[in-house]
Structures are given as structure tokens and as C-alpha cells.
Structure 1
Amino acid sequence: MNTIQVNGARLSYAVSGPEDGTPVVLSHSLFFDHRMFDALAELLAYAGHRVFAYDHRNHGESSTHPRAEVSVDILTEDAAAFIEELQLGRVHFLGNSLGGFVALRLAARRPELLLSAVAMGSSAEEEHQLEAFAPLVERLADIGGSENTDIVLYIMFGDTSLSAGTPAVEEWRGRIAELKPNIGGSAYQVIHRSRIVEELNGCTVPVLAISGTEDHAYPPPISDVNIAEASGGSYRSVEAAGHSVSLEQPAAVAEHVLAHFSAI
């Protein structure tokens, strides 16, 4: 892992792919870290891209921060600073869930940094399950992930993955159980984020929304049609995938993403 100091935070990141490849930045979901993209990053690197997968504040090996310092807007500023500090030029920015919130905000606010934006299992709207998620956020802030693993897994994975007990589900079951209470601050900011729909009006960055047909958190059309209509972009759906569509079906996601890149 590499580290970089940006915007008052220490961000850890992994790099793969040829040095002269077009840069792709991968931005992960709440509760996860850059490792959720291991399979997707390998596919994109094999296709010739230079892939940067980083950890948000309060996740993975990046620095920890209080709730006031982990809003989605601050994470968006982190992402912009990450691109600028590493002198990546214009990048394809791909985000899953929380990372998708960041991708859409970059497309609206920092278009000069992007070749394109891809939002996977994400939303351009305010949280539509605020009351349902609030008790979980409080428990996470009290005790972390240890006693909340099953409900987090249900939110983050689709029925196909959960019923099969896939290696990804079992791997992340252990990692989610180890989450510390500071993850509650990040979760609070996610469910209290503002909508980005109006800011995306007239967006000049090509946006692709990818949904999982089994997404329990942001089911279609929230995670596909609504984003495409707000941004003037396009959308695709992936079968047998839930909220963590890029983790559950990386090959299908890579196919859609590479086609999106080629069309630009």
C-alpha cells in the first residue's frame, strides 16, 4: 500500500496496471475498503489501464476522523485532492455506493478532473430509507460491526450472493465484524447526505450508472434510471448482484465499464 497526505487526511491506496495506461480511480463503499475492487482492478489493469484504488477516511488503512470530518462533501474534496496531488490528469472515476456519491459530486463540481464518472449501486438523491437505517447507525457508533454483521451484509449484498454464501460474502463477513465504532460517524454522514440531482443538471462529464437487480439499499430505478436522467448519462443493470455490484459481478461490470470508456 502507498500513502498520501491530502486535505488533512492520510489516504492509503493501491496501484496496478501499466504506467502509461489511462488512469482509473476506484472509490469504495461504506463498510468496505479498496479490496472490494481487487477483481475489477485486475480486469481493468489487464485491459491496459493504470488503476488507483484508495481507502476513504475511517476505512481500511487510511486515517480516522470524527463524524464532522467524514461528510460525503469532504470525501469528495479528498478525491479531488488525491487526483491533483498524484498529478493523474483527467481520470475515469468509478465509485460503488458511497464511492458513487463521490463520483457524481466530482462530475458536477470538478468536471475538469474527469474523463468520465461511473456510479455503481449508488444514488443521486437524498437517503430514502433514513428512518430504517438510523437505528443501525446508532448501534454501529456504539459497538462497531461485531453485532451488526448480518444486517450490514443484507444491505450490501444481493440475494444470490447471500443464499450461496459466496467467498466474497464470507470474506467481508469477517472484515465487517472487525469494524470499530468510528464507522458509525461515516455511516451517519452517508445517510444524511444531500441530494445531487440539481447539481447534475447540464453535467458535461459522461456518466454511467450501473445497478444490481437485487440491490436492497438503492434498487432500480434509484441506482440506474434516476442517475442517468439527472446527469444526461446512460445506465446498465447487472443480474444476480446487489448493492456491491462491482464486487459481486466484477466481470459484468468490467464489460460495461470498458465499453463506456471506449465510447468516449
Structure 2
Amino acid sequence: MQTVQVNGAELAYTDSGPTDGVPVLLSHSLFFDHSMFDDLRDKLVEAGHRVVAYDHRGQGASSPGTRDELAVDALTDDAAALIRALDLAPVHAVGNSLGGFVALRLAARHPDLLLSAAALGSSAEEEHQLEAFAPLVDLLCEVGGAEHVDTLLHIMFGDTSLAEQTPAVEHWRTSMAALGPSIGDAAWQVIHRGRIVEELADCRVPVLAIAGSEDHAYPPPISDINIAEAAAGSYRTVSAAGHSVALEQPDIVASHLLEHFAAAPVR
């Protein structure tokens, strides 16, 4: 992996595909890292795109951060700085869950940096399960992921993936079990984020929402129709996929993304 200094942090990232390809930025979910997009990245590279997938501050191989530095708004500032540092603009910003929060905020606040935005398994609203998630986040802050990995997997994957115990589920089971207590600060900020609905009302960037039909965290319409209506965008709903739709159904997601990219105005 490569690293770049932005906003006082060292962000780790991969840079794949032709350097002259239209760039795509991939922003990952809470509890994951950039590698959740490996299959999706390969599909986008095959289509001729330059694809940068990075780790959020406080996760993966990037620098740790204080709780304040892990706020969704702060992570959005990091993403904007990363785009500038790597001279990616204008770029297609794609994010799953937490990464989708970032992509939507980039669309609303930094439209000059984007060609389009896509929010996968995400939400434009405040956390609708705050009371349910808060006790889990408190426990993560104390002991990390090992004792709660089954709960995390249920949140992050759909019923089909869980029933089949796919290789992805098993891989991320091991990864989530290894998460230390510091992940709790990132999780706290996710569930205490603000809404972006009103800011998206004036959004001039094309926005696509992609939802998993089996999403336990942000089920449709939260993850599809609601986002599309807020941003005057479009949506697609993917069967046999949960919250990690980019990981669970990468071929279908890639097809929807490429269609979305092709329809975006050329700049």
C-alpha cells in the first residue's frame, strides 16, 4: 500500500488501473478496510478506470485518530484532502455504509471535486437505530470486536451471505474479531452523525443509491429511495445482499456503477 499525508494523518491507499483512466474513489464501511472492495475494484479497472481505495483514519492501515478526528464530517474532510493530494479531481466517489456517508457529504460540500457520487448500503439521515446500537458501541469501546463478532456480522451482511457462510463472511469474521477497543470511537461517531438530507437538496452532482434487499442496518427505503429523493438522484436495489452490498454482489454493483458513471456529465 501507498500512504499520503492529509490533515495531519497518514492515509493508506491502493491505486490501481490506468493512470489516465477516469478516477474512482472507494470509501469503505465501518469495521472493514479498503480490501472490502477488491472484487469491485477489479471490475472497475477492467472497464478502464483508475481506482483509488483508501483506509479511513482510525481504521485499516491508516493513522489512528481521536474520537473527534473520527467524526463523519472530519473523515469527509480527509477524503476531500486525499482527492486533492492525489490530483484525482474530478472523481466518481463511491462509498459503502460509512463510506457512503462520506460520498454524500462530498457531493453536497465539495461538488467541484466530483463527477458523481454513489452511496451503497448507506443513509442520508441520522441514525434510526441509535438506541439499539448504543449499548453495542459502548461494549466495543471496552473490549473491541472479539466478543461481539456474530452481532457485527448480522449487521454487516445479508441473510443469504450468512446462511451460505460465504468466504467473505468467514474472512471478515476473523478480521472483526481482531478489532481492538479503538474501533469503538469510530462506531460512536457513525451512530451519532448528523443528517445530510437538507444539504443534498441543492446537490448538483449525480447521486446513485444502491441498497441490499437484506440490509439489516439501513433497509430500503432508507438506503435507496430516501437517498435518491433527497439528492434528486436514482436508486437500485440488489437482491441477495445485505449492508455490505459492494462486497456481497460486486458484479451487480459494478454494472450499476458503470451505468451511473457513463450517464454523468463529462467535465
**Shorter-chain TM band:** over 0.9
Q: Distance in 2 between matches of 1:86 and 1:131?
A: 39
- Structure 2 unaligned blocks of 5 or more: none
Question: What's the CA shift for 1:15?
Answer: 1.1
Question: What's the CA shift for 1:88?
Answer: 1.1
Q: Deviations over 1:137-172 (max 9, x none)?
A: 001000011101000000000000000000000000
1:205 corresponds to which letter in structure 2?
A: V
Question: What's the CA shift for 1:231?
Answer: 0.2
Q: Deviations over 1:3-59 (max 9, x none)?
A: 001011110001111111000000000000000000000000010000000000111
For the residue of structure 2 that corresponds to 1:53, the secondary structure is strand
Paired position in structure 2 for 1:124: 124
| Identity across matched positions, percent | 69
Paired position in structure 1 for 2:183: 183
TM-score scaled by length of structure 1: 0.99
Q: Distance in 1 between matches of 2:68 and 2:87?
A: 28
Q: Distance in 2 between matches of 1:69 and 1:59?
A: 12
Q: Distance in 2 between matches of 1:95 and 1:108?
A: 14
Q: Distance in 1 between matches of 2:89 and 2:107?
A: 15
Paired position in structure 2 for 1:115: 115
> How many residues are matched?
264
Over aligned residue pairs, what C-alpha RMSD do you find? 0.5
Contact 1:66 1:182 in 2 (8 A): no
Question: What's the CA shift for 1:90?
Answer: 0.3
Is the counterpart of residue 62 in structure 1 residue 43 in structure 2?
Answer: no
Paired position in structure 1 for 2:9: 9
- Structure 1 unaligned blocks of 5 or more: none
Q: Deviations over 1:181-221 (max 9, x none)?
A: 00000000000000000000021000000000000000000
Paired position in structure 1 for 2:19: 19
Q: Distance in 1 between matches of 2:9 and 2:180?
A: 18
2:181 corresponds to which letter in structure 1?
A: P
For the residue of structure 2 that corresponds to 1:199, the secondary structure is helix
1:183 corresponds to which letter in structure 2?
A: I
Q: How does 1:165-180 map to 2 (within 5 A)?
A: 165-180=165-180
1:201 corresponds to which letter in structure 2?
A: A
1:76 corresponds to which letter in structure 2?
A: T
Paired position in structure 2 for 1:207: 207
TM-score scaled by length of structure 2: 0.98
Is the counterpart of residue 150 in structure 1 residue 150 in structure 2?
Answer: yes
Question: What's the CA shift for 1:66?
Answer: 1.7
Q: Distance in 2 between matches of 1:145 and 1:171?
A: 14
For the residue of structure 2 that corresponds to 1:162, the secondary structure is helix
Question: What's the CA shift for 1:81?
Answer: 0.1
2:126 corresponds to which letter in structure 1?
A: E
